[in-house]
Amino acid sequence: MSLHRLLTGAAAVALAVALTAPASAETLRLLTWGGYAPDNIIKLFEEKYPDIDVEVTLSNNEEMVAKLRATDGSGFDLAQPGFNRVAAAQNEFDIYKPMDLSKIDAALFDEQFLKRAADETTIDGKVYSVPHLWGTSGLVVDKSKAPEIDDWTDLCDPQYKGKTSMRLRRTILVGTAFALGEDPFAAYKDLPEYQRILDKVSDYLIACKANVKAYWQGGDDLSAMLLSGEVVASETWDSTAFKLFAQNPNLVYVPPKSGAIAWIDTFTLPKGGEADDAAYKWINFVMQPEIVTMMSASAGAIAAAKDGRALLPADKKAAVEAAFTDEDMANLRFAATVLPGVEDLEGKALEKIKAAASE
């Protein structure tokens, strides 16, 4: 056999193998929050789309921006920033690309949340995000021990000295501001005015430090303190409170009378993403009613889907019904777009409170 015929035969075998082997799977790289891409849902998605592998990187709002800024919007195909964090980051860093809304099954979404996400993330007439999950921050209260607590400032009531908690992040700043009669979100556009509000809030929370048993860092920290009875009330995410309600029905989520702080986490396409079609398939897949219930069970949040509250798992639905009245829903304070300079002011205020609390 000649060398030429041998090489030709080897090439033919290689070509035959290539033609019969399955195509390599496309990878959908998600940059998301804990609980937003659970294994059971990924398995169902990959069974439906066997040509797509899902890769998950867990993050938060600040880290998402930092990661995408460092890579000029590359490295991920779908990110899930809060709806109020998209426009400012895009205007400043150019890390996202517009959504093709024709590829979104709008019938799966709650119209109110679809519109609100679009309104907050439209730049030059182009929409950059659609909503996924929403929830609120407010209070969790042991109603058997502190039945009258119903607003942010009640955490500082002297009768609960050493028995309340909060997290030193933006939520407690803006929530306390609303309870003190201020409008912090309106002041985002006027930094000197926002600084005045933060000074007022900082002084108030420093004076409140004797009430705080501990500043919680994560949901597990807070849950342990509430279930043990060490604290009777705290600022919290509603999802944490809903989980606690299932363990102790005295632990109820209370939307503050001055307004719970509402958030929406979105689906947003990084500028350098390489799997847009897979991203749209994921979005439409996880917004299906049967998947929505599974997602809410994992994330603890309400989907921005049509009938999202009705699609909650039974335990969380009971907790939501125990917490929210129609008046509470109408009184939600949707987070405002975080403009340049706001985070710097808030960071200094939080450091001031933390330093005073450690004296």
Tell me, what's the pLDDT at 329?
Answer: 87
Dihedral sign for Cα 233, 236, 238, 244, please.
negative
Distance CA(226)–CA(16), nearest Å, equals 65
Tell me, what's the pLDDT at 30?
Answer: 98
Specify the residue for token string 């080897």: 10
CB atoms near residue 318 (< 10 Å) = 15
pTM exceeding the 0.75 threshold for the entire prediction: yes
Ranges of the chain whose pLDDT falls below 50: 1-22, 359
**Contact status, residue 287 vs residue 108, Cβ threshold 8 Å:** yes
**DSSP H/E element including 65:** helix 61-70
Judge: domain 135-261+334-357, CATH 3.40.190.10.
yes
Tell me, what's the pLDDT at 358?
Answer: 54
Which one, of 258, 27, 296, lies nearest residue 135 by Cα? 296
Tell me, what's the pLDDT at 357?
Answer: 60
Tell me, what's the pLDDT at 293?
Answer: 97
| CATH code given to domain 28-133+265-309 | 3.40.190.10
Tell me, what's the pLDDT at 24?
Answer: 64
- pLDDT tens per residue across span 31-44: 999 999 999 999 99
Tell me, what's the pLDDT at 14?
Answer: 44
Q: What residues have CB less than 8 Å from 43, skipping those under 6 apart?
A: none
Q: What residues have CB less than 8 Å from 76, skipping those under 6 apart?
A: 29, 30, 31, 57, 67, 68, 270, 273
Q: What residues have CB less than 8 Å from 274, skipping those under 6 apart?
A: 77
Tell me, what's the pLDDT at 219?
Answer: 85
Mean pLDDT for the chain? 92
Plot region of 259 (φ>0 → left; ψ -120 to 50 → alpha; else → beta): left
Residue positions counted in the chain: 359
Domain with CATH 3.40.190.10 in the chain: 28-133+265-309, 135-261+334-357
Which amino acid belongs to residue 109? F
